Amino acid sequence: MDFSSDTSAPAHPKVLEALVAANDGNQPSYGNDAVTAQLRSALSRVLETDDFDVWLCASGTASNALALSCFCPPIGAILCHEEAHIARDERGAPEFFSGGGKLQLLGGDGAQIDETELRSALSRIDRGFVHETPAHVLSLTNLTESGTAYPVEQIRHYAALAKEADLTVHLDGARLANALVSTGASAAEMSWKAGVDVLCLGLTKTGAIGCEIIILFGAARAKFGALKARAKRSGHMPPKMRYLGAQALAMFEDDLWLKLAATANQRAREASNLLCKHPGTKLVHPVQGNEIFVRLDEDLVKRLKDAGATFYPWLDDSHRLVTSWATGADTIKRLASIVG
């Protein structure tokens, strides 16, 4: 019963099959190969547009930091939630890649930015006032760090507010598939159609080995040259790129990524329902993806641990349990037997 993280899961077998298939003969290095070309077509279908540029990374931290560094200069700031992964879990990667830019942290329930705080931050931007650091980017996360999902309308609304203030809109989609399944939105609806300029579409947590996609839409494409240079310079241009492209292709084929996310979400709902049957259990946030944030009484924690369940303590005496594509029905059954 591993609920520690969706990154402790293995990759889906189709991903491995795709790697093996790609391992055939010589191919040009650095993204000039046939697999990467195919990926572009697949992405056109997934994103319902051709107006994009794409770069592949093996890590979500790299994907976010590279994307942000193209739009936030060293003398600028990034607006994000105080619980955002870029703020709390990336050891200062955005500051490093941007050359010392700032994160400006906003509050809000369920790791979703509060609209009043956002409006206040946007209204305070004064690019002519040299003493303070003006925001250049709004970074949103969906699925959020609290396992909640912004509906498309909220993304669109916040993106519109940000653009009035001349900000670029970044979406950290490390668990995008979980948010799409949860909200019923398409990748296009949740990204460029909602005003997102640069999307970090994660597949690692969904079921790849390590594959994160940076996508620049529309006007943001002007930064594609800079993005590639920054990728090279930060060691995120592995020569044999076909193996990154192959992972993504496998995930997009027959919408495998969405199917895997649907399974993970379903398991999280089942596990959450089971835990909530126990008196003394209290959800900290609604379960809208594959993460459960919950307060459990000591007795239940002990029983779970004794049964070998792995999960992490979280803020405020709560715990976090994460499911993945690999969380089996049997795991839920075992959980039921412990909780019941």
Residue 28 Cβ vs its own copies, minimum distance, rounded to whole Å: 6
- Between 272 and 331, name the residue whose CB sits nearer to its own copies: 331
What dihedral angle (degrees, nearest 10) is formed by the CA atoms of 82, 323, 68, 19? Answer: 170
Residue from 171, 222, 178, 224 nearest 198 by CA: 171
Alpha carbon distance 251, 76 (integer Å): 36
Would you say 248 and 19 are in contact if contact means Cβ atoms under 8 Å apart?
no
Stretch that binds its own copies, among 34-42, 47-55, 93-101, 256-264 (CB under 8 A): 93-101
Q: How far is the CB of 39 from its own copies (least distance, A)?
A: 16
**19: contact with its own copies by CB under 8 A:** yes
For its own copies, how many residues bind (rule: CB under 8 A)?
Answer: 76
Only segment of 5-13, 190-198, 259-267, 282-290 that touches its own copies (CB under 8 A): 5-13
Q: Residue 313, interface with its own copies (CB under 8 A)?
A: no
Site for its own copies contains 107 (CB under 8 A): no
> 24 vs 299, which CB is nearer to its own copies?
24
Least Å from the CB of residue 229 to its own copies: 4
Binding mask 218-257 for its own copies (x = CB under 8 A): -------xx-xxxxxxxxxxxxx--x--------------
**Which residue, chain included where needed, has tokens 């459990």?**
296
x/- track of binding to its own copies for residues 255-294 (CB under 8 A): ----------------------------------------
For its own copies, the binding residue among 41, 45, 51, 74 (CB under 8 A) is: 74
Q: Tell which residue, 244, 237, 176, has the closest CA to residue 18.
A: 244
Q: Minimum CB separation from its own copies for residue 299, in Å?
A: 26
Report the nearest approach of its own copies to the CB of residue 175 (Å).
13
CB of 135 to its own copies, least distance (A): 12
Instruction: Find the binding residues for its own copies in span 111-130 (CB under 8 A).
Output: 127-128, 130
- 209 is an interface residue for its own copies by CB under 8 A: yes
The stretch among 42-50, 100-108, 139-147, 154-162 that binds its own copies (CB under 8 A) is: 100-108
Residue with tokens 């279908």: 45
30 binds its own copies (CB under 8 A): yes
Nearer to its own copies, 124 or 282 (CB): 124
